[in-house]
Amino acid sequence: MNRSIETGVFIPTGRNGWIHSVNAPDTPGTFDHVLQVVQAAEAGGFDFVLSPGIWRGRKGPARHWMDSVESITTTAALLQATSRIGVYGTVHVTVFPPATIAKMMSTLDQIGPGRTGLNLVTGSSYLDLAHVGLWNSELDHDERYDLAEEWVAVAKRLWTEDAVTHHGKFFETADATMGPKPSRLPPLLNAGASQRGFRFAAENCDVALVTGSDSLASLETVARCRKMAEDMGNPSLKIFAAPVLVPGKSDQDARSRVEHFDAGVDVECLADIAAGYERNPNTTQVSKESTTFTSGETSAISPGSLVGSPETLARRLATMVNEGGIDGFMFIVPDYLTDLDVIAAEVLPRLAEHGITCRDGATVGR
């Protein structure tokens, strides 16, 4: 069977992207760099880019994420600077009320009609939010998802109804008007890894983002998510994976790149990420996928990263699609200015050999 997938890029709005090493490729976490990356992604034919919601840099010599640009304001500028590609942002629903973001999204849709979307996160790292006074200690893990559910309900009503009166547990509106309406409902994404988080995605969003690779365990996780989405009445929920890809001229060349990153691994940074989750008062409710760094991980790249030649990467991505049923990818790479070109020119075209097509212009909007 021929399968069509969507391809996106998780863009490095924070210093060093997702490589926790003093040997990370030069990734300054500035708007100028992000703009170059996104223009390259558009030229390369990717369907969308998504920026993360970053509030805090990490301790350690790599100064990981110590410089970063804010997601929604960056989205506005990127939409203006591009013409085709989808540009999605991330917000913490515990930080911004739905009316604020609904209004911003309507405005973003004016700047890039039909091209924006939203990744909704509830926030699991205490340190990420507490240091700027944005951690809400009154809510436990599952209540944050209860809030997220009400948040989505209010935002969707503001995007579609003339006057919205809402008296909920978390939010209030009184005869609220908001125009102009967006040209389409912005696609909503979520990366909750817990049971409660996945239920939120299945019941309220268009896309569930998962980490993972082509390992049997990852493929089984995706199959379980697919079954849950069907049982929850949203069989059309798309499941996108967000793999780290490290391409090289050969498998050995790619492995050498990882060895170089690992030689400069910033263990202080990894410990700081772990501390962020450990300080979460509901730490036992945080899924193990989110706390990978607490498991004594000492590599500069995430476990399960795909490392190899373009042929190897294409084969392994194809396994995730053909055996795991992945609907799309949001790629993370070490050096966005060179690696994205390799993915676009040498990896994605090889997916056709495995019966997979991409770049057909399909979008994630309903």
Ligand X SMILES: Cc1cc2nc3c(=O)[nH]c(=O)nc-3n(C[C@H](O)[C@H](O)[C@H](O)COP(=O)(O)O)c2cc1C
Can you give the binding site for ligand X, defined by CB under 6 A?
A: 52-53, 90, 121-124, 128, 141, 191-194, 197, 209, 211, 242, 286-287, 290
- Report in angstroms how near the CB of residue 242 gets to ligand X at its nearest: 4
CA–CA dist 288, 165 (Å, integer): 39
Residue nearest to ligand X (CB): 197
Question: CA dist 304 to 71, 178, 223, 241, 332, Å?
Answer: 26, 44, 17, 12, 12
CA angle 86, 183, 84 (to 5 degrees): 25
The amino acid present at 60, given as its one-letter code, is G
Report the relative pairing of strands 164-167 and 188-190 from DSSP bridges: unpaired
Tell the smallest beta-carbon distance from residue 2 to ligand X (Å).
Answer: 27
Give the nearest distance from C-beta 53 to ligand X in angstroms.
Answer: 4
AA letter at 93: V
Residue nearer to ligand X on the CB measure, 162 or 220 = 220
Tell me the closest approach of the beta carbon of residue 252 to ligand X, in angstroms.
Answer: 29
Nearer to ligand X (CB atom), residue 88 or residue 170: 88
- Residue 65 or 261: the one with the smaller Cβ distance to ligand X is 65
3-state secondary structure of 357: strand
Residue 75 or 124: which CB sits closer to ligand X? 124
Question: Considering only CA atoms, which of 260, 362, 214 is closest in space to residue 19?
Answer: 260
Min CB(83)–ligand X separation in Å: 25
Place of tokens 């994404």: 189
Nearer to ligand X, 282 or 299 (CB): 282
| Nearest partner of 87 among 53, 151, 122, 42, judged by Cα | 42
Nearer CB in complex with ligand X: 144/157? 144
d(CA 85, CA 48): 5
Contact in structure between 75 and 87 (CB atoms under 8 Å): yes
Say if CB 121 and CB 93 are below 8 A apart: yes
Residue 23 or 194: the one with the smaller Cβ distance to ligand X is 194
The residue among 89, 7, 82 whose CA lies nearest residue 48 is 7
Minimum gap (Å) between residue 261 Cβ and ligand X? 20
